[in-house]
Chains A and B, each alone.
Chain A
Amino acid sequence: MWTRSRLQNGIGVDKRFVIFSPVMENPFRDGLLSRRAAEPCAVVIFGATGDLTQRKLVPAIYNLAHEGMLPTGFAVVGFARRPKQVEEFRTELRAGVEKFSRFNPINPAVWETLAQGIFYHQANFNDDARYASLKELLAKLDRDRGTAGNRLFYLATAPTDFEAIIAHLGAHGLVNERSRIVVEKPFGRDLPTARELNEVVASVFAERQVFRIDHYLGKETVQNILTLRFANEIFEPLWNQKYIDHVQITVAEALGVEGRGGYYEQSGALRDMVANHMMQLLALTAMEPPTSLAAEDIRDEKVKALRAIRALNPAEVAAWSVRGQYAAGAIAGKAVPGYVEEPNVAADSNTETYVALKLVLDNWRWAGVPFYLRHGKRLPKQAAEIAIQFKAPPAVLFAADTTRPLQPNVLVMRIQPDEGIAIRMNAKVPGTALNIQPVKMDFRYGGSFGSRSPDAYERLLNDAIAKDATLFLRRDEIEVAWALMDSVRAGWEANRMRPVTYAAGSWGPTVADEFIGRDGREWRRP
């Protein structure tokens, strides 16, 4: 058992135990799997009348309360423009919890206890006087509910409001050493705007106080990438350029823009999905083993992997990327309009709804191993997966007898839906001839562990309240990813690459098949 002095000196300390198991301080915690109780805390949600609060945040908070994961002194302050009485606000939130909580029906006593700590603060995001009164309210909560200055500010607003809110928080002295801020994506729309946003945040909050949320990282299967890689001895020795031919990361959506044409016109597939979620999947797949599971150690390794990605020059962008835009077609037998026919989309829109990219990492582990990334809307089905394709085995033993070339092994990590892991390997077909066929070993989470897992927001909010930043993005991760995305966009502009259309319900433009085909490879069918 570590002694207190060793902990304080930071000598020989396993950081996981510092976060999760302060056994030396509280003997009753010994042997319990639940993490220590978080300190009393006030969560201030900006944009508290919005969809995110109603559908995700407050149901996640209720779930944590239901399971006894919230601190004793806990408060939620809703900060939003609409005039509203606190009782009305609580009633609306309760309706959201009843609809979206994973506990159904909810426990009325637990809700009532939680609701007593919910408050509403009507204000415009630029209204100085209302920030002053917010300060008074938080001071009152510090006294009444013991929150003692421990505040979590959650920006559930449009990105255009971030700057004003953060500046006012700073100007009114609402931020102290114990405060944290949760920032929702998008973290800018390119490197300059990301830096600008980071500077705004940094002017008021230290980096350790900033929790940039990417809900993809809250998914069990994404967290399992590290477990699969580093808790299984059989994979790590093969996880390098010597044995791996290439990696395919696919995030396919059957949905279109679903009424968000205005937003999507400004964003496009590259910014909306590739810059954040897919770069995180790549980083987790490519990173070196961290020295511990502590937040900084994991984030250090992710950044190193992202930094190893070679920036693309315009000529490479022309050869190593594809832009697509869906035209009218059919999904699951139902006719759907093309992108330019969607509401709030320009008839001559230059926005891509499909991206395919080839990236290479210039480091020892991945030299010469291309990572193919593919994301699109209105593809035949929803699927997110990482496929590791190994090199084909030497065919010297089987070349003469077998009727077809040996298929390389493939390891597929399915993120959604039907989460699981599959391995393709070769087996002899029973019979007198030496006939070899690929077979699939398929592990499904649903089959092996049932389907119980907390919502991503529940996990991430719990971490933010407990000050655990492991599953949140650090400033340098964001900026490195944007620098790469900017080089792609610059290449598209330099080459005047307009999106190529593809029929909704297809697997993307045919040029995407040609693009990967030039390397002698083909896209997997998820």
Chain B
Amino acid sequence: MSLEAFTAGVETAVDVAGIERQLRQLWEKAGPTVTRASLFNLVAVCGSAEERERATRVIATVTLRHPCRAMVVTTQPDHVSAELSATVTALCHLAGGGGKQVCCELIHVTATGRSVERLGSAVLPLLESDLPTVMWHLGNICDASGRQPVMAERVIFDGAECAGVTSLRDINELVRSRPRVQHVDLAWTRLSLWRKLLADCFDDPHAAAALAGMEQLNIVHGCGAGAEWRARLIAGWVAAKLGWSAAEMRQRVVLECREDQDATALGLVSLELSGSGASVQVRKNFGECTATSCMMMPAVCGLPRRQAFELLDDAQLLSQELDHARRHPVYEQALALAAQWQASQTG
């Protein structure tokens, strides 16, 4: 394999059993002009060629900020032939200051047919020792592959990709069944701005005192895939923080789907929390790419807060989560209550 092709990002087929040895030879050839960097192992789990392509694209961006040994593992169990194949390549960029190339390894492993059963034995030895492992599950984590044993301390997925009547319950069960694993839901990450803007409104002690009187939550969301799912999750969060039960949520929470083009694409549109003597509204202004929040109550400054937002793509969301290796107990709390609420509604 040529060093130039390797560092230029060209995928080169290798023998699965000899991946580590071949990588070592390539780095020796590269010499001191290239710095190999790795802070963790990132294993992207894909179920189709489309997901493989998406994972590869995202990882190429993520490694600019989070150097790691990346593996894209694609399983196609329905394939007739049982094959296990692999390619390796390097993702390189110029580091600031020194002008050196900083490179990360990207290994693709594809298993088809019965060879899917042997996939773990191929991937486990490739995890770099003494580094944490993050598994990024593309697609629906509630399907069979998402229920496989995990080889990582953290599992990242997008709950909104499992949108469906029982998905909140399914994901809640999945998360609770693996208490030693940190579950990171990118749908929750997308709600960070909403949570921050609502929290900002209640930092004022006068506003915080009004929390006990809050009794109504209205959420307007788009009608696109996953939008209602996100609305339910944030409703679960608000309710959990206000001490509402699932039964109280049935009385107090109103979700409204709006057939608006922006909203359909983008999830939540606005959130209004109100009660005796105070109300808060948080909304996104899609045209100007800003979000505003405003607290309306006596003795609290009623000027709106306006900040910019950008629609985060997969790479930005993943990067945000990789910045902070932490559990999300607040998410788990919100998910559990949202699942109970959903169950109580569907009977």
Contacts and interface: CB of A to CB of B under 8 A. Distances in A.
Contacts of B84: none
B244 to A, nearest CB: 12
Nearest to A108: B288
Interface stretch (A62-70, A83-91, A130-138, A497-505): A62-70
Nearest to B101: A447
Contact residues of B: prevailing secondary structure? mixed
A185 interface: no
Given A32-B199, A107-B289, A109-B289, A68 B95 contact: no
Contact of B96 (A39, A110, A145, A418): A418
A72 B304 CA distance: 6
B308 A107 contact: yes
Contact of B307 (A66, A444, A448): A66
A113 B193 CA distance: 19
B65 A30 contact: no
Residue from the set B98, B302, B308 with the largest chain A CB neighbour count within 10 Å: B308
B289 A31 contact: no
Given A417-B97, A418-B97, A32 B303 contact: no
Contacts of B290: 107, 109-110, 113
Interface in A437-481: 442, 444, 446-452
B35 interface: yes
Interface string B307-322: 1100000000000000
Nearest to B273: A28
Size class of the A contact interface (CB-based, 8 Å):
35 or more
Interface in B262-317: 285, 288-291, 295, 300-308
A446 B288 contact: no
B202 A26 contact: yes
Given A31-B330, A447-B102, A113 B306 contact: yes
A334 B195 CA distance: 55
Interface string A95-112: 000000001000111100
B236 interface: no
Contacts of B199: 26, 28-29, 32, 34, 36-37
A33 interface: yes
Residue from the set A110, A450, A451 with the largest chain B CB neighbour count within 10 Å: A450
Contact of A418 (B64, B98, B289, B307): B98
Interface in B91-116: 95-98, 100, 102
Contact of A34 (B196, B285, B288, B330): B196
A448 B37 CA distance: 7
Interface string B196-213: 111111111100100100
Contacts of B202: 26, 28-29
B21 interface: no
B65 A450 contact: yes
A188 interface: no
Nearest to A145: B303
A192 B120 CA distance: 72
Interface residues of B, number: 51
B198 A28 contact: yes
B205 A447 contact: no
A25 B208 contact: yes
A68 B97 contact: no
A68 B307 contact: yes
A68 B293 CA distance: 10
B95 A145 contact: no
Given A68-B200, A447-B67, A109 B306 contact: yes
A72 B195 contact: no
A190 interface: no
B301 to A, nearest CB: 3
A451 to B, nearest CB: 4
Interface string A22-57: 100111111111101101100000000000000000
B29 interface: no
A401 to B, nearest CB: 27
Nearest to B211: A27
B329 A31 contact: yes
A37 B306 contact: no
Given A36-B203, A110-B306, A452-B65, A145 B301 contact: yes
A156 B307 CA distance: 27
A209 B75 CA distance: 62
A491 B201 CA distance: 58
Nearest to A27: B241
Given A113-B306, A444-B97, A449 B65 contact: yes
A146 interface: yes
A66 B96 CA distance: 25
A110 B308 contact: yes
A22 B203 CA distance: 8
Residue from the set B67, B203, B295 with the largest chain A CB neighbour count within 10 Å: B203
A408 interface: no
A73 interface: yes
Contacts of B302: 146
Given A29-B203, A36-B203, A68 B98 contact: no
B198 A446 contact: no
A73 B301 contact: yes
A419 interface: yes
Given A31-B329, A417-B97, A446-B96, A72 B301 contact: yes
B288 A109 contact: yes
A448 B241 contact: no
Interface string A242-267: 00000000000000000000000000
A146 B204 CA distance: 12
A427 to B, nearest CB: 15
30 contacts: A25-B203, A27-B241, A30-B241, A32-B195, A32-B196, A33-B324, A34-B199, A36-B199, A37-B199, A37-B200, A40-B303, A65-B306, A66-B307, A66-B308, A70-B305, A72-B200, A72-B304, A108-B288, A110-B308, A146-B303, A418-B97, A442-B35, A444-B35, A444-B97, A446-B96, A447-B37, A447-B100, A448-B67, A450-B64, A450-B66
The 3 closest A-B pairs by CB, nearest first: A146-B301, A418-B97, A68-B307
Interface of B: 35, 37, 39, 64-67, 95-98, 100, 102, 192-193, 195-205, 208, 211, 238, 241-242, 285, 288-291, 295, 300-308, 324, 328-331
Interface of A: 22, 25-34, 36-37, 39-40, 65-68, 70-73, 103, 107-110, 113, 145-146, 417-419, 442, 444, 446-452
